[in-house]
A = this chain, B = another copy of it.
């Protein structure tokens, strides 16, 4: 049998309606700010969830100004969605209570179920009960849903604006890391679903859901185990035909596999097989959250590149060498500047073009008397030239040495931004965080980065990561073309 549900198939249900609750009950709500039973309520209030909110706790009273129901039965209205932050042994009663209230979706922050030896029996029991009651389960051992359009979140610090990246993840920590990092780089999310042990709603169902979700243009995923490899394969293939899918699997190694077993009770397969399976499906396999963000960002932001040739700009000789090395060692090409560009430079700018190479080193050409306008023209010549398909621009950090020289950094970045804005090819801009311990330095790089993002540009924090993202971007489209 190839059923993706470990406890038998659920009745067909529409995840979209489950993720659009009119009311949410938080069972195990707490006045203690360090408890998730407090944080869920706080986060929903903070985002301004527009439906009804019902904290439930025997103590009664109010938490964060919201009246607390002493029991589930005391909830005055209907409840669509329940967040459970109570101990596992209280779940059977919660499911019975939920059934009488017509609950559609029960999200279990509650853990110590299928991921532990002792909890496996109880997990099977509660899933069976939920099936019979017509209730779908998210989790157990998961954080739930971040759905900015519906003002649902499980982190305070995430963006309120919605976007078009869909993310599903078996790990809440990885979800948090990915959303923070992606958000800083300008990505916004349609739906983010942390689904933990996947005892009911799982990777196959969620992949199908996001594949058909009109708000989702690209899918990022972190999975640990596959409930039904063949169905997953088919779901991934179908999804990847509709939109890009970037996917990371935990448990690549023996120790990693042992760790997935105690994290979400997942059994994972071999790493090499996994990578070829993902690629065969037309999706992109990655090995870290850093890569998940970097490569999702590249595929989300960039047009299809016409080839592997990278035009590079940086400030500094060593940096130019590193840019060239990082690109070519990964399979991209950093060709010499074509003669036609050299001629154009000579003709139009009337200057000796021998200092201008690929990578363009602005630390050589500015001191030789070239102006910003001329540097812009060189960059534009390269952008228009058919021999260049991708661009890697390094913002450098030399002028970040003192507040007095800082303006040179911003001026140089402004030149890069202006040209990159008008470019129809992928341009990866490197803004190195500079490892600042001084506040002005931290602020300067953050500001430079955020200006790029406001201009719709795409930033990477290091030359290596930019080169890696461009390489994977090219690979993604090469595979697509090869596949036909």
Contacts and interface: CB of A to CB of B under 8 A. Distances in A.
B402 A157 contact: yes
A289 B186 CA distance: 27
Contacts of A156: 401-402
Nearest to A328: B253
A437 B450 contact: yes
Interface stretch (A205-213, A351-359, A417-425): A351-359
A269 to B, nearest CB: 14
Given A327-B255, A464-B290, A321 B112 contact: no
Copies in the complex: 2
A288 interface: yes
A61 interface: no
A203 interface: no
Nearest to A158: B401
Contacts of A253: 324-325, 327-329, 334
Interface stretch (A3-11, A175-183, A231-239): A175-183
Interface in A361-412: 361, 363-364, 367-368, 396-398, 400-402, 404-405, 408
A438 B442 CA distance: 11
A34 interface: yes
Given A157-B401, A251-B325, A173 B319 contact: yes
Contacts of A251: 321, 325
Nearest to A185: B435
Given A224-B321, A320-B263, A435-B180, A408 B258 contact: no
A256 interface: yes
A172 B316 contact: yes
Contacts of A174: 316, 318-319, 322
Interface in A296-345: 315-329, 333-336
B317 A264 contact: yes
What are the 7 A-B residue pairs with the smallest beta carbon separation, nearest first? A171-B318, A263-B317, A173-B316, A253-B328, A255-B334, A255-B324, A250-B321
B259 A408 contact: no
A280 interface: no
Interface string A45-72: 0000000000000000000000000000
A101 interface: no
A156 to B, nearest CB: 4
A323 B288 CA distance: 10
Given A173-B396, A316-B172, A408-B34, A289 B322 contact: yes
Given A141-B317, A250-B325, A259-B320, 10 more contacts: A111-B364, A111-B367, A157-B400, A173-B397, A251-B321, A259-B317, A259-B321, A259-B357, A262-B320, A437-B450
A318 B292 CA distance: 14
A318 B437 contact: no
A155 B401 contact: yes
Contacts of A171: 316-319, 321
A325 B172 contact: no
A14 interface: no
A117 B462 CA distance: 32
A151 to B, nearest CB: 17
Nearest to A407: B34
A170 interface: yes
Contact of A39 (B329, B363, B405, B439): B405
A111 B316 CA distance: 12
Contact of A357 (B258, B325, B402, B437): B258
